[in-house]
Amino acid sequence: MMIVGLTGGIGSGKSTVAKMFLDLGIPVYDSDKEAKDLMITSKEIKKAIIKLLGDGAYNSKGLNRVYIADKVFKDSDLLEKLNGIVHPAVREHFLEWAKSQESPYIIQETALIFENQVQDKYDCTILVTAPEDIRINRVVRRDGTNEQAIKDRIHNQLEDGQKKKLAHYVIENLNLDKTKEKVKELHLKLLATAPKF
């Protein structure tokens, strides 16, 4: 089975692209969603996060995302330590999930493939891009977050120009119909290169 990494910066639309692959019958593992679940359900992870960021990391609703984002996106050292707690657990969970899938290829949707230099863990990578101003507008509309907070997150990630040199495939996500066409095209290409059973 071929493992494809799907990545892109905040607001690029990688979740939209992931949904298009899902609609084509391809299993997609949403790393961001699974990471949040693990941060709530795993006692070990919860304990480590509280030790790193303090009791404010959790509230009565569970994960205090605003508090965590406020801490880590202004401090790259803290962000690295948090990733060091969460990413290995997500990787392990993904590999378990992958064993139960039956498809010529599967996709792991994850934000920091190139930042964490883990591209060699995938048979190929797809990068979703969009201009920064469009990405900011999308996230403001989606999350109601302020522009500066989004810019802080964007600047914690590699620039698209650098990522384009590392990715096998690039999807520029500006027009949904064109994006859908590109996904279909790529799907056929991946099916043709995936190992046959």
Which residues sit in the known binding site for ATP?
Answer: 11-16
Parallel, antiparallel, or unpaired: how do β-strands 58-59 and 62-63 relate?
A: antiparallel
**Which residues neighbour 167 within 8 Å (Cβ) at sequence distance 6 or greater?**
7, 114, 125, 126, 127
- The answer to whether residues 92 and 134 touch, using CB atoms and an 8 Å cutoff, is no
User: What is the spatial distance between Cα 175 and Cα 67, in angstroms, rounded to a whole number?
Assistant: 34
What H or E segment, with its residue span, contains residue 6?
A: strand 2-7
Work out the burial of residue 156: count CB atoms within 10 Å of its CB; fewer than 13 is exposed, 13-18 middle, 19 or more buried: middle
Distance CA 104, CA 119 (A): 20
Q: List CB contacts of 191: < 8 A, sequence separation 6 or more.
A: 104, 105
| Binding-site residues | 11-16
Angle at which helices 65-72 and 43-53 cross, to 10°: 50
Q: Which residues pair with 29 in a beta bridge?
A: 108
